[in-house]
Amino acid sequence: MSWTKEALEKCLLKIERNIDGIGAHFPHVAYDGVYNDQGAAFWTSGFWPGLLWLLYQEKKDEKALLLARELEDRLDEVLDGFVTLHHDVGFMWLPSAVIDYKLTGNAKSRVRGLKAASHLAGRFNLAGNFIRAWTDEVNPDSKGWAIIDCMMNIPLLFWASKEMNDPRFYHIAKAHADTVLKSFIRPDNTTAHIVSFDPYTGEKIENLGGQGKDPDSAWARGQAWAIYGMALAYRETGKEEYMTASKNVAGYFLSHLPEDKVPYWDFRTDAEDRFVLDSSASACTASGLLELSGLMEDGAEKEFYHDQAVAILKGLYENYADFSEETQGIIQKGTVNYAKKKHVNVPIIYGDFFFTEALIKLNHKTEVF
């Protein structure tokens, strides 16, 4: 058995074990080997259901299906509550309801996905051509804020556009991606995390530091969101500028990776903070590079990005993966937000998700994003 298939089998086995250990909770980060319960309203609530659906897709595990459905049902309170919803509804309902619908044809799941997409479309700021981040409850200054993470949420709009045969969703997603091209990605192929616009005129005001070291730094996971998200935007639109952006940001990411393939939390971090790593950025980038490779026609380029993804996955597998029965997290040394000293060098549920998703992509297409 190849190491990639061995790694995938180990991931699936650990997900299966976690059905009893994590259960009907919504994990985010793990301490002392155990995932917390972050609650249904948090933006990461779709990733544990997503892992269960990956297990179901590969093994037809009925326990995984039943638990994923239970979690999906629990998300209804958040979806119907509406006022706490934010820009990350793609992260929440693509790996839960939408993948349920794609794999099983569950009509109720389809409606959930379309409701979430309608909310995301409703966050579009027409003056600035961006999808607004967060809510006033989180930050009253965020009315004109957009973030790089949303490149991974707009696939929900592309899906809804096809599902409803309604181009409005498509146009909103594309307009947001165009704004990211114009206002987020810098000439050196790094990306800002947060960009502030005047919410009434749409004019760009400034970059904000967000989860990076400072406004002009290169937050590692932000680069990953751009690599993967731009590849997905190209897949849905065929717009060459999106593929070029994905390749350019990937070039920066890959050229600054250490030998073990896991970056510092920010590529421009100070020397004293280089103990802070983010394995989740590597996992997401690997999955994004495989997406990018699969979209390419040039054989040499296709092979290059595929091989780079495999090298990252191998680095994660050999140096950061934990498949023991005593712990719940798979990929170690992820960092959520070192700028606020939150959750440093710990397993993160989306790191586990993107690592598993990428391993599956090596064998066949996945249906999540």
Active site residue 298: no
Report the alpha-carbon distance of residue 47 to residue 96 in Å, rounded.
8
Report the alpha-carbon distance of residue 94 to residue 86 in Å, rounded.
14
For 138, counting Cβ atoms within 10 Å of its Cβ (0-12 exposed, 13-18 middle, 19+ buried), the class is exposed
Cβ neighbours for 253, distance < 8 A, ≥ 6 positions apart: 220, 223, 224, 227, 263, 267, 285
Given 61, 88, 266, 352, the catalytic residue: 88
Distances (CA, A) of 235 to 61, 242, 260: 30, 9, 30
Given 149, 266, 278, 352, the catalytic residue: 149
**127 backbone φψ class: left, alpha, beta (φ>0; ψ -120 to 50):** alpha
Backbone CA torsion sign across 39, 42, 46, 48:
negative
- Among residues 21, 46, 49, the alpha carbon closest in space to that of 35 is found at 21
Q: Which long-range contacts (CB under 8 A, 24 or more apart) does 236-240 make?
A: 236/155, 236/158, 236/170, 236/173, 237/170, 237/174, 237/177, 239/174, 239/177
Residue 40 in contact with residue 70, Cβ under 8 Å?
Answer: no
Tokens of 298: 């040039």
Report the alpha-carbon distance of residue 219 to residue 56 in Å, rounded.
33
Report the alpha-carbon distance of residue 154 to residue 310 in Å, rounded.
26
Residue 212 in contact with residue 218, Cβ under 8 Å?
Answer: yes
Active site residue 136: no
Tokens of 139: 């930050």
Report the alpha-carbon distance of residue 161 to residue 167 in Å, rounded.
5
Active-site annotation, residues = 88, 149
